[in-house]
Amino acid sequence: MANTQDHLNALRELAWLYAQLKLWGGPRRFEYAGASVEHGNEERLQLKREMVHAHRGVFQNICKARKRLLSTGYPVPDSWLMVEVVGQLSEKHTAATGKNQEKVVLADSGADLEVLKSVLREMHVAILRLESEAETNPHDVDPSTSRNPSEESDLPVTLTEFMRRYCKSDDKPDARLDSLRTSLQNAVRRKGSEVTLPKHIGEWRPGQKRYYKPSALKKAWPGLCKQLPYLPPLKQIKS
């Protein structure tokens, strides 16, 4: 029979996955105009494949987490299960008219971020209540079953997001983390540099963000900090 800790573990995992979507699940738009329309056909096809693959992976992870929460017997509101977690892909082609260039727009409508934010607020309140219940009734909590959802999930993150979540960077503003990310990327690109990053997810194109698996960055980070002392160290995992 599921106890308070089981409810907490499952609820934290789903809330953590939803929080990732709030950060990088917004609308995306890719435009190809003029000469790039014809030459970008294969690129657009590959990009659509990658986006469909990413959507499928996110949706499967969310569905598994939802089912785990339901299996604990926790009274899950329907609104937590119905939020749109992946967007719709569309491609619009406009022909050249007069001075207007031929254009193709590939768009991803993204997750329903406003509903997602509202659901997350409700979930955080529910987590707070369960944490209070666990403290009040410690006999209902098995410490050996306590899990950190961020350690179980490996959803891709940018370097800035990684430093914010997994490194000692609470005192650093986002602008500073962006600056550190740029410095790290410049060090990797510098001729003759021995600084290397794990392989990013999928193909990268100018103007797009690079995403990495947190597990790969965690493994490489201590070595990167030795080479580049200005990088924030990893947070210590509480036992």
Q: Is 233 inside a domain boundary?
A: no
Given the structure tokens 């987590």, which residue do they identify?
127
List helix spans (H) across 137-213.
Answer: 149-152, 159-166, 174-189
* Shared domain check, 29 and 79: yes
Domain, as residue range, for 180? 159-227
**pLDDT means per 10 residues in the chain (239 residues)?**
83 87 79 82 83 83 91 93 86 81 87 89 91 73 51 71 85 85 90 89 72 89 92 76
- Among residues 118, 145, 172, the one where a domain terminates is 145
| 150: in domain | no
Strand partners, 104: 32, 93
CA 9, CA 14: separation in Å to the nearest integer?
9
Q: What is the pLDDT of residues 51-75, one digit of tens each?
A: 888 788 888 889 999 999 999 999 9
The contacts of residue 11 (CB under 8 Å, 6+ apart) are: 69, 74, 123, 126, 127, 130
pTM, two decimals, is: 0.56
Q: Are residues 136 and 192 in the same domain?
A: no
Which are the contacts of 182, defined by CB distance < 8 A and separation ≥ 6?
Answer: none
Same domain as 123, residue 13: yes
Reading across the β-sheet that carries 28-33, which strands appear in turn? 28-33, 103-108, 89-94
Count of beta carbons in the 10 Å neighbourhood of residue 3: 15
- 216 belongs to a structural domain: yes
Instruction: Specify the pLDDT at position 95.
Output: 82
For the record, the structure tokens of 47 come out as 């990009």
* The pLDDT of residue 239: 44
- Cα–chain-centroid distance for residue 49? 19
d(CA 201, CA 54): 10
Q: How far apart are CA 171 and CA 134, in angstroms?
A: 30
Q: Does residue 239 sit within a domain?
A: no
What is the rounded CA–CA span in Å between residue 93 and residue 176?
40
Residues 163 and 221 in one domain: yes
Task: Answer for the pair 26, 110: CB distance below 8 angstroms, yes or no.
Answer: yes
Residues 121 and 213 in one domain: no
